């Protein structure tokens, strides 16, 4: 219960039958005005807690979205007029004295659920009005609950909140950075933090032992439903720990956050290796709410005469169950062609489909190329029954996983916020993922500071692509919430990893000297994690887009319709920074 203020005694949504007969003073916005005969009008007064009906003289001049103060007496509504849909529906305020605190122009869209259908650019241009709506008020308060629960959980585990710098040197963390020119050092730039990674590791060297921060991070990446330029994350680091210690501490914070919103703790968070996730789901952020798992079929066709399969190093398939995918039992050629086109878009050379008919008969353009034993083994391995649809891809392992993983999500994945909450830890990521086409050097699986798996270190120079990292991700309903790892704390090991990334010792000293040098003075073994608060809140709030749980987000094109950012700056300001801009390219 909020304390009274000098202007109000109660909040609108908390005026209930317990207050019948009491005098109250309320403040808020007029959500709606309804005339009741010649002499009376009903005003629905709204604040962030809800609305309450006020009965006023028809002569009172008060209109939609005016800010008013209303003094009156709480009485029970007459029989037959109770509104069961709102908390205050059994009462109303009578004998009202209305004081106008501020008049308002008509808003550009309704301040209710009808605004959900308004163009997003309009909603964001007038975001301060959009936030007045119940949906946005609820989302922002869910976010506040999550932040509060996270802080409590971290403090109970003796983590210390430390703020880290916002202006830092440019570092290779895998995403484009936002750069800030230095006025004092023309031609030099700060970078805005993609994460506090370097700083939190230095805090471990400094003996802080357990650090956390609800940190704002920035990445100049294309925006989408689960990504904004600016995002908030729980950032944490711990000394003298292994993987299980970090996962345990973060799990406790995530469970506390979820429980603060849904009222009950989620089940124990599952754990799966990266390779198993790829083999079973085709992606490293598996959505485990539905089936359609990938099935390895290479051995089924080991002696096949079907050319497309005989030449492939890996063959995988999905058994598409008719109950999961209603169109599977009678998928027409148009649908099958769409699936084939989708497979090619993702990277497959083609897609083999097979419909299972009565008695295990296979309806497919390739069925005639398969022997009876191959057909029977295929049905046995997949467990396919009448009405199922089989989708097969033959290619390199990574391609079969990626293509079928995308098809699996396209076919069966429900909206991210629907169904049970399925949290899963994905562990044992590869240290390196492929070769950068421009540099010819390895690319880090997570970032350059992950500790190689102790069982794989002897292959770091001879077979680096097979080395696992002590790295892990937390996934919820197919959205990656965050990543972490046990860090490299030995300077020489850090240099070995840098060399694989094409960073010479000299360049490492130039770019990371401030980071590597402290490790020579006694760095403890340490590890950490960071997860996206925006993503977690969006799922818990039942939203498909993180923009709906951020007070002032950017559009998908990166613009802010309210402030018109980004904007150009004057020549004088650019000159002071030693910057000249290039002319915009001519439009073709």
Q: What is the CATH number of the domain that holds 126?
A: 3.30.930.10
Do 182 and 309 lie in a common domain?
A: no
Judgement on whether residues 159 and 18 belong to the same structural domain of the protein:
no
Range name among 266-280, 301-315, 417-431 with the lowest pLDDT average: 301-315
pLDDT for res 199: 93
Is cis: bond before 566, omega within 30 of 0?
Answer: yes
- Considering the domain architecture, whether residues 320 and 253 belong to the same structural domain is answered as no
238 and 131 in one domain? yes
Which residue carries 């005026």 as its tokens?
15
Q: What is the pLDDT of residues 229-272, one digit of tens each?
A: 999 999 999 999 999 999 999 999 999 999 999 999 888 899 99
Segment 421-427 shows an average pLDDT of: 96
Distances in Å between the alpha carbon of 291 and those of 286, 380, 390, 405, 427? 11, 17, 14, 12, 21
**Per-residue pLDDT reduced to its tens digit, 87-126:** 999 999 999 999 999 999 999 999 999 999 999 999 999 9
Residue 557 belongs to some domain of the structure: yes
Mean pLDDT, residues 48-55 taken together:
97
Q: Taking 90 as the threshold, does the pLDDT of residue 1 lie above it?
A: no
Classify residue 54: in a domain, yes or no.
yes
Together in a domain, 238 and 331: no
Lowest mean pLDDT among 94-108, 225-239, 325-339, 525-539: 325-339
61 with 158, same domain? no
Last residue of a domain, one of 380, 412, 444: 412
CB 245 within 8 A of CB 232: no
Asked, for residue 205, whether it belongs to a domain, the answer is yes
Mean pLDDT of 451-455: 96
- pLDDT, tens digit, for every residue of 480-519? 999 999 999 998 899 899 988 888 888 888 888 887 888 8
Taking a C-beta distance cutoff of 8 angstroms, is the pair 521, 205 a contact? Answer: yes
Q: What CATH number is given to the structural domain containing 406?
A: 3.30.1360.30
**DSSP bridge partners of 221:** none
Burial of 348 (0-12, 13-18, 19+ CB in 10 A): buried
- For residue 172, pLDDT beyond 60: no
Q: Is residue 83 part of a domain?
A: yes
Q: How many Cα atoms are found within 13 Å in the side-chain-facing hemisphere of 127?
A: 18
- Checking phi first, is residue 56 left (phi over 0); if not, alpha (psi -120 to 50) or beta? beta
Domain that holds residue 362: 290-412
Query: What is the torsion angle, in degrees rounded to the nearest 10, for the CA atoms of residue 255, residue 257, residue 258 and residue 259?
Result: 80
Q: Return mean pLDDT, the chain.
A: 93
Q: What is the pTM of this model?
A: 0.90
Kindly indicate the confidence band of residue 434, based on its pLDDT and cuts at 50, 70 and 90: confident
Mean pLDDT along residues 334-358: 92
**16: domain CATH number?**
2.40.50.140
Q: Are 255 and 316 in the same domain?
A: no
pLDDT at 65 over 90: yes
Measure Cα distances from 91 to 87, 135, 145 in Å: 9, 24, 29
| β partners of residue 161 | 212
> Considering the domain boundaries, does residue 477 fall inside one?
no
Query: 403 and 310, same structural domain?
Result: yes
Statement to judge: residues 308 and 371 lie in one domain: yes
Task: Indicate whether 570 belongs to any domain.
Answer: no
The pLDDT assigned to 301 comes to 92
Please tell me the distance from the alpha carbon of residue 361 to that of residue 375, in angstroms, as a whole number: 9
Q: Which position has the higher pLDDT, 517 or 423?
A: 423
pLDDT digits (tens, 9 = 90+) for 403-422: 999 999 999 999 999 878 99
469 located within any domain: no
Domain finish residue from 381, 412, 443? 412
Residues 407 and 357 in one domain: yes
Answer for the pair 549, 543: CB distance below 8 angstroms, yes or no. yes
Query: What is residue 326's predicted lDDT score, i.e. its pLDDT?
Result: 66
Asked whether the predicted pLDDT for residue 397 surpasses 60, the reply is yes
User: Which range has the worst mean pLDDT, 109-113, 144-148, 297-301, 516-520?
Assistant: 516-520
What burial class does residue 234 get, using C-beta atoms within 10 Å of its C-beta: 0-12 exposed, 13-18 middle, 19+ buried? buried
- Number of domains comprising the chain: 3
Confidence of residue 173 (pLDDT cuts 50, 70, 90): low
Strands 270-273 and 423-427: parallel
Residue 174 is predicted with a pLDDT of 62
Question: 155-159, 200-204, 265-269: lowest mean pLDDT where?
Answer: 265-269
Q: Residue 315 in contact with residue 297, Cβ under 8 Å?
A: yes
Of the given ranges (112-121, 308-317, 327-336, 478-487), which has the lowest mean pLDDT?
327-336
Going across the sheet that includes 160-161, the strands are: 160-161, 210-218, 230-239, 526-532, 479-486, 471-476, 423-427, 270-273
Does 221 lie in the same domain as 180?
A: yes
Q: Residue 304: inside a domain, yes or no? A: yes
Q: Are both 154 and 295 inside the same structural domain?
A: no
Q: Locate the DSSP E strands across 242-300.
A: 270-273, 294-296
């Amino acid at each position: 219960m909020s304390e009274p203020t000098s202007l109000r005694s109660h909040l609108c949504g908390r005026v209930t039958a317990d207050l019948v007969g009491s005098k109250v003073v309320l403040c808020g916005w007029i959500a709606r005005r309804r005339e009741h005969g010649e002499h009376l009008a009903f005003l629905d007064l709204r604040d962030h807690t809800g609305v309450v009906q006020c009965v006023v003289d028809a002569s009172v001049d008060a209109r939609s979205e005016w800010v008013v103060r209303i003094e009156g007496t709480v009485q029970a509504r007459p029989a037959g007029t109770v509104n069961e849909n709102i908390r205050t529906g059994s009462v109303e305020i009578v004998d009202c004295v209305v004081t106008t605190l501020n008049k308002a122009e008509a808003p550009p869209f309704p301040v209710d659920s009808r605004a959900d259908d308004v163009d997003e650019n309009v909603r964001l241009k007038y975001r301060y009005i959009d936030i007045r709506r119940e949906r946005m008020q609820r989302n922002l308060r869910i976010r506040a609950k999550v932040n509060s629960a996270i802080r409590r959980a971290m403090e109970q585990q003796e983590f210390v909140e430390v703020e880290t710098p916002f202006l830092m040197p440019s570092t290779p963390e895998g995403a484009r950075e936002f750069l800030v020119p230095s006025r004092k050092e023309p031609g030099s730039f700060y970078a805005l933090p993609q994460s506090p990674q370097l700083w939190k590791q230095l805090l471990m060297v400094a003996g802080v032992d357990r650090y956390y921060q609800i940190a704002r991070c920035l990445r100049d990446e294309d925006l989408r439903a689960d990504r904004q330029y600016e995002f908030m994350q729980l950032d944490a680091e711990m000394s003298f720990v292994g993987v299980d210690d970090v996962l345990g501490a973060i799990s406790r914070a995530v469970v506390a956050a979820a429980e603060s919103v849904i009222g009950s703790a989620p089940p124990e968070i599952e754990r799966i290796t990266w390779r198993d996730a790829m083999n079973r789901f085709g992606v490293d952020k598996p959505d485990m709410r539905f089936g359609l798992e990938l099935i390895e079929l290479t051995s089924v066709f080991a002696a096949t005469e079907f050319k497309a399969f005989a030449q492939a190093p890996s063959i995988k398939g999905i058994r598409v169950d008719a109950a999961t995918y209603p169109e599977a039992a009678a998928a027409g050629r148009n649908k099958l062609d769409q699936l084939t086109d989708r497979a090619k878009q993702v990277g497959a050379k083609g897609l083999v489909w097979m419909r299972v008919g009565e008695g295990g008969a296979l309806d497919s353009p390739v069925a005639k190329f398969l022997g009876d034993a191959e057909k029977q083994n295929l049905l046995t391995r997949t467990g396919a029954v009448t009405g199922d649809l089989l989708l097969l891809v033959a290619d390199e392992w990574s391609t079969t996983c990626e293509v079928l993983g995308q098809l699996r999500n396209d076919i069966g994945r429900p909206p991210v916020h629907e169904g049970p909450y399925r949290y899963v830890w994905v562990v044992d990521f590869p240290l390196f993922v492929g070769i950068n086409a421009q540099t010819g050097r390895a690319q880090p699986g997570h970032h350059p500071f992950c500790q190689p798996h102790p069982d794989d270190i002897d292959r770091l120079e001879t077979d680096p692509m097979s080395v696992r990292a002590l790295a892990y991700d937390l996934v919820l309903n197919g959205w990656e919430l965050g990543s972490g790892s046990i860090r490299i704390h030995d300077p020489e090991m850090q240099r070995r990893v840098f060399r694989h990334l094409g960073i010479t010792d000299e360049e490492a000293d130039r770019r990371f000297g401030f980071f590597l040098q402290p490790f020579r003075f006694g760095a403890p073994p340490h590890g950490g994690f960071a997860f996206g608060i925006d993503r977690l809140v969006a799922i818990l709030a039942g939203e498909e887009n993180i923009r709906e749980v951020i007070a002032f987000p950017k559009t998908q094109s990166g613009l802010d319709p309210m402030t018109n950012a980004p904007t150009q700056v004057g020549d004088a300001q650019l000159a002071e920074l030693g910057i000249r801009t290039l002319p915009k390219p001519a439009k073709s």
